[in-house]
Amino acid sequence: MKFRSPGQHKTFGSMDKHVRELADALGEELSLEEALEGTSGPFAAPLSLQGRTLSNRFAMHPMEGWDGTTDGRPSELTLRRWRAFGRSGAAMIWGGEAFAVTPEGRANPRQLALVNEENTKEDLALLIGAIREGRVESGLAPKDAFIGLQMTHSGRHARPHGTPQPIIAAHATWLDEHTKVSADHPLIGDDELQALTRSYVHLAQLAQQAGFDFVDVKACHGYLIHELLGARSRPGPYGGNYAGRTRFLLETITAIQDACPGLGVGVRLCAGDVFPHRVDPDGGPGVPLDATPHLPLNHGWGMDLQHPSQTNSAEPEQLTRDLVDRGVCLINVTLGSPYSCPHLQRPARNPPIDGYPPPEDPLLSVLRQVLMTRRIKAACPGAIVVGTGYTYLQEWFPHLAQAELRRGAVDLVGLGRMVLSYPEMPLDLLANRDIQQSRICRTFSDCTNGPRQGLVSGCFPLDSHYRQSEDGKRLRLLKGERTADHPRKP
Ligand SMILES: Cc1cc2nc3c(=O)[nH]c(=O)nc-3n(C[C@H](O)[C@H](O)[C@H](O)COP(=O)(O)O)c2cc1C
Ligand code: SF4
């Protein structure tokens, strides 16, 4: 199935029509704004937060580069990326990238991690310094960005030495099968979870000392806390009903708040999920696993347990309200998981080489993210909500983002891949400058392909540093071989 990519729409009217038609199919109203109002419009509207005033409505999403050292420290490539985040001029840097709270919680051997307190202290100062340097390169005040650190534990997807070493919170036949975890794999113990809370607190303290404004307790993308949120079959205090499944997240947040007064806390939250998809051996669109033998599901978060091809945001909405009641007002809305439904989590024109062609128009997946963000904001107006999924819209992203900001459906527009190819796009928009078409991310997925092939991540097609690098050459070779081995259907 071929879908018309946003970049192929040559007129505003044609793109707007595409968006309206898909929104209509979802029973919602969505449309673009034609005129962009950089200097004086919604992007430039100040936002008050924790006694600070953010000067614009752009947030940089966390973007890992698989390029740290094997003892969890940033490399020059890591710092180069953080400088680019700073150069963007975005008022909020949400997380930088996933930083593991323990060495065994890493998703890959080159993920940043708290291995040694002294090193981490030094590294966090370097990372925040890189953002400030980037801002100076763009002629901005170094300290004006609101900067967070994303704290993670990879749980079921832990690969601290390159091979799977899953740390799981609950069993579910479908999930175990999909992630190749045996049915007798031990669950992380309640006491181990409590020790983990202390690791989150430790990293949060170091972040605060280094000058971070907030920490993100990551609860999405299939990692440990996301899994705990869905752990209906887990016995004991950290599973079962809603109170049990959210206990670890809430206890950890309270412990951070107690230990780090003045430090903001945010949550990158999975607000909706669907049943895993698999590759069709004939090269067709991704196929959802057959849920029938597992119904109703005994595991899941943000998913309709009777009809798991559909999201159900009732619990994520409730959790957002509970978080805000606890003083956690920063919510970054995301859907799905890169491991089980990448088409929803990271809509792309070209799927990753180990992925599948999208089972629906990727634009529809973007609209699902935008509409879910609306729902979360409407359910909890006190939350400062960051929206996700805009990069696939390419040159049209500001036209939808401006409309959503204006209607108060989102507070900050989060950008992921676009920042890898064109970090200065927010600044250009804010200054009413022409958009540099040649730098727009076309969602080719090479920043995902790189790490899937054991290489670093970066914008291989559009950033000459990566294009000319040894990893860039290897990736081109690997892609060529892969396409020859497994030709896709036209
Ligand atoms: C190479 C790459 C690395 C990513 N690393 C992280 C990460 O460390 N933490 C996280 O929460 N999301 C991560 N994401 C997801 C992005 O933050 C974002 O949610 C996703 O790319 C969709 O936003 P976009 O359409 O603007 O790219 C990553 C995505 C990519 C492509
Ligand atoms: S490799 Fe570059 S163009 Fe491709 S998806 Fe990533 S950022 Fe976008």
Query: How many Cα neighbours within 13 Å face the side chain of 359?
Result: 19
Tell me the backbone φ, ψ of residue 104, rounded to 5 degrees: -75, -10
Ligand 1 nearest atom to the CA of residue 366, by list position: 25
Assess if residue 490 is contained within a domain: no
Instruction: Identify the segments of the chain with pLDDT beneath 70.
Output: 481-490
Pairing verdict, β 52-54 and 58-60: unpaired
Specify if 361 maps to a domain. yes
**CA dist 483 → 203, 283, 352, 471 (Å):** 42, 11, 12, 18
**8 A C-beta contact, residue 219 and residue 268:** yes
Element (H, E) at 385: strand 384-387
| Number of the ligand 1 atom closest to the C-alpha atom of 392 | 25
Decide: pTM greater than 0.95: yes
Residue nearest to atom 10 of ligand 1 (CA): 62
Pocket test residue of 346, 373, 445, 447 for ligand 1, highest count of atoms within 8 A of CB: 346
* Cα-to-centroid distance, 383 and ligand 1 (Å): 22
Number of separate domains in the chain: 1
3-state SS class at 1: coil
Cα–Cα distance list, 287 to 3, 191, 279, 297, 362 (Å): 17, 39, 6, 18, 15
pLDDT at 481: 65
Consecutive H or E run containing 23: helix 12-25
Whose atoms come closest to the Cα of 222: which ligand? Answer: 1
Strand partners, 267: 331
Could you tell me the CATH number of the domain that includes residue 150? 3.20.20.70
Report helix, strand or coil for 425. helix
Q: Given the CA of residue 447, which atom of ligand 1 is nearest to it?
A: 1
Judge whether 80 lies within some domain: yes
CB 447 within 8 A of CB 416: no
User: Is residue 466, in this structure, part of any structural domain at all?
Assistant: no
The 10s digit of each residue's pLDDT in 421-450 is 999 999 999 999 999 999 999 999 999 999
For residue 488, being part of any structural domain is answered with no
Q: Which residues contact 388 (CB under 8 A, 6 or more apart)?
A: 61, 332, 333, 334, 335, 369, 373, 414, 416
Q: What is the 8-class DSSP label of residue 311?
A: B
CA of 40 to the centre of ligand 2 (A): 30
- Residue bearing the CA closest to ligand 2, atom 2: 459
What is the C-alpha separation between 52 and 48, in angstroms, rounded? 6
Say if CB 279 and CB 352 are below 8 A apart. no
Query: 126: helix, coil or strand?
Result: helix
User: What is the phi/psi pair of residue 271, to 5°?
Assistant: -100, -5
Mutate to test the pocket of ligand 1, among 92, 417, 457 (most ligand atoms within 8 A of CB): 417
Both structure tokens of 327: 């003083």
Ligand 2 centre from 323 Cα, in Å?
33
CA-to-CA distance for 490 and 488, rounded, in angstroms? 6
β-strand partners of 53: 48
Ligand 2 contacts (CB < 6 A) are 417, 420-421, 441-447, 459-462
Residue 296 maps to a domain: yes
Tokens linked to 416: 């992921």
Where does 113-188 show beta strands of DSSP type E? 146-152
Distance from residue 127's CA to the centre of ligand 2 (Å) = 23
Number of CB atoms found within 10 A of residue 306's CB: 11
What pLDDT score does 2 carry?
A: 85
61 Cα: distance to centroid of ligand 1 (angstroms):
6
d(CA 239, CA 229): 8
From 457, 484, 464, select the one nearest 68 (Cα to Cα): 457
Tokens of 458: 């970066």
> Ligand 2 centre from 466 Cα, in Å?
11
pLDDT given for residue 487 in this prediction: 39
* 52: three-class secondary structure by DSSP: strand
Residue 90: domain span = 6-436
Distance CA 357, CA 67 (A): 28
- Which CA distances in Å does 229 have to 170, 232, 239, 249? 10, 8, 8, 8
User: Is residue 473 a part of any domain in this protein?
Assistant: no
Q: Are 169 and 155 in contact (CB under 8 A)?
A: yes
pLDDT single digits (tens) 301-338: 999 999 999 999 999 999 999 999 999 999 999 999 99
Tell whether 463 is covered by a domain.
Answer: no
- Encoding tokens for residue 217? 């307790």
- Identify which of 61, 78, 270, 344 to mutate to test ligand 1's pocket (most ligand atoms within 8 A of the CB): 61
Contact criterion met (CB below 8 Å) for 437 and 425: no
Q: What is the pLDDT of residues 387-400, one digit of tens each?
A: 999 999 999 999 99
